[in-house]
Chain A
Amino acid sequence: MLISDNEKLIVIKQFESLCKKSFANVVKNYYARQAVLCERNVLYDELERCCVSDNYFKRQYVYYVNEIPVIIESRKIAFMLTKLNEERRKIILLYYFAGFKDNTISLLLNIPRATIQYRRSRALIELKELFSGGTII
């Protein structure tokens, strides 16, 4: 297909204009992408706040319930638990710290399940009062 010089000039202009438009779009998209990355990127020192550290040498409080070791890391909670009576403390430790269900605890302690549930709820109320600084009736 033969084309005249004038038509060649038109093709060149069309190509140049297409390139200019595309360049503008590429630059615009690039900076938009950079802005998104700046928002979402996290600095290394910020990452350290989210990391998980090992607790091997951290101070821990260990209670033994029927020869099952239950570890508590909070000093305050460990101290408050000493103020509960033994049965309630055992139930709290087994339920909330060792992760046993009421049925399992009833088998371990030879107490009916309903009693476990009652004592647990009472122990929680007691702990709540202890933490808020109130007195236990």
Chain B
Amino acid sequence: MITYEMIYEASNGDISALNSLIKQFQYQINILATKKIISNEKVKYIIDVDLRDQLVSKIIDLTLGFDPFPKYDGDVENE
């Protein structure tokens, strides 16, 4: 399960937290990257490695640029 601490540490560049975050999304990534292939009248399911890698790199990209503090609609920063 994803925890706040995990997100916070990962957004600050902690590699182990980032890895555990990727692990949490692994199931979802595998489902999205799965392709159905029909060869010799048999149905096969394969994981598109390119797409999987793109999704993993997207998580890393998002996490490193994520602000781990709550934002509300119409939020105004107080000075």
Instruction: List A residues at the B interface (Cβ < 8 Å).
Output: 1, 3, 7-12, 14-16, 18-19, 22-23, 26-27, 30
Judged by a CB distance under 8 angstroms, whether B47 is at the interface is: no
Number of interface residues of B (CB under 8 A): 21
Kindly list chain B residues whose C-beta atoms are within 8 Å of the C-beta of A1. Answer: 69
User: When chains A and B are docked, how far (Å) is the Cα of A12 from the Cα of B63?
Assistant: 12
Judged by a CB distance under 8 angstroms, whether B64 is at the interface is: no
Interface residues of chain B: helix, strand, loop or mixed (majority): helix
User: When chains A and B are docked, how far (Å) is the Cα of A67 from the Cα of B3?
Assistant: 90
B4 touches A12 (CB 8 A): yes
Known contacts A8-B4, A23-B28, A30-B51; is-contact A14 B62 (Cβ 8 Å): no
Kindly list chain B residues whose C-beta atoms are within 8 Å of the C-beta of A16. Answer: 2
B62 touches A19 (CB 8 A): yes
B55 touches A14 (CB 8 A): no
Q: Which of A3, A18, A19, A23 contacts B69 (CB 8 A)?
A: A3
Interface residues of chain A: helix, strand, loop or mixed (majority): helix
Kindly list chain B residues whose C-beta atoms are within 8 Å of the C-beta of A30. Answer: 50-51, 54
Known contacts A23-B28, A23-B32; is-contact A12 B7 (Cβ 8 Å): yes
Q: Which of B4, B50, B51, B62 contacts A22 (CB 8 A)?
A: B62
User: When chains A and B are docked, how far (Å) is the Cα of A9 from the Cα of B28?
Assistant: 20
List 15 contacting pairs A-B, 8 Å CB cutoff, sorted by A: A1-B69, A3-B70, A9-B4, A10-B70, A11-B70, A12-B2, A14-B70, A15-B66, A15-B68, A18-B66, A26-B58, A27-B32, A27-B55, A30-B50, A30-B51
Q: Which of A3, A10, A11, A27 contacts B51 (CB 8 A)?
A: A27
Q: Which of A12, A15, A18, A26 contacts B54 (CB 8 A)?
A: A26
Judged by a CB distance under 8 angstroms, whether B42 is at the interface is: no
Judged by a CB distance under 8 angstroms, whether B17 is at the interface is: no
Q: Which residue of B lies closest to A10 (CB)?
A: B70
